[in-house]
Amino acid sequence: MNVEFKLSNPVHFLALGFGSGLIKPAPGTWGTLSAIPLYLLLASVISTSGAIYFAVLLLAFCLGVYVCGKTASDVGVHDHGAIVWDEIVGFLITMVWFEPTLINIIIGFALFRLFDIVKPWPIKLLDKHVHGGFGIMIDDVLAGVFAWVLLYALHYFVLS
């Protein structure tokens, strides 16, 4: 099936992670990689105000519900692999309160991708039964939470 996205459309551009979702193979991985510069930018803010980081996360989630849902509707494919704004938000959730060190970014990236790909319960349940823009976003939000918990545990028990 040939799907036509329009990068000139700001909604598609954001849903496609600034175009990173069009890179093959593994568009979700490329989308997550595109979140790293955004995280590095936000990491400087979180050190002075966690409230600002959470406000940006909430805004990014709400924006994602709209842009992912609209883009999926425009192309007629629910949660097309090229729609990666959800991966960006999921990675930003994974990295909440962690310093932007290379080891944190690598482990956070790997953990998020693991949970996003494997989709353990209840992530898989949400992925199958929740639709629209919210459905596209929520499984990655939960994958980000799972990855955050494991990254926190690694810091607490291993990396400290």
83 part of a folded domain: yes
Q: Is 46 a member of any domain?
A: yes
- For residue 7, tell me if it sits in a domain: no
Whether 67 is in a domain gets the answer yes
| Number of domains present in the structure of the chain | 1
Question: Do the domain assignments include residue 10?
Answer: no
- 1-58 pLDDT per residue, tens: 577 888 999 999 999 999 999 999 999 999 999 999 999 998 887 766 778 889 999 9
SS3 of the chain:
CCCCCCCCCHHHHHHCCCCHHHCCCCHHHHHHHHHHHHHHHHHHHHCCCHHHHHHHHHHHHHHHHHHHHHHHHHHCCCCCCCCCHHHHHHHHHHCCCCCCCHHHHHHHHHHHHHHHHHCCCCHHHHHHHCCHHHHHHHHHHHHHHHHHHHHHHHHHHHHC
* pLDDT, tens digit (0-9, with 9 covering 90-100), for 76-117: 988 899 999 999 999 999 999 899 999 999 999 999 999 999
What is the model's pTM? Answer: 0.95
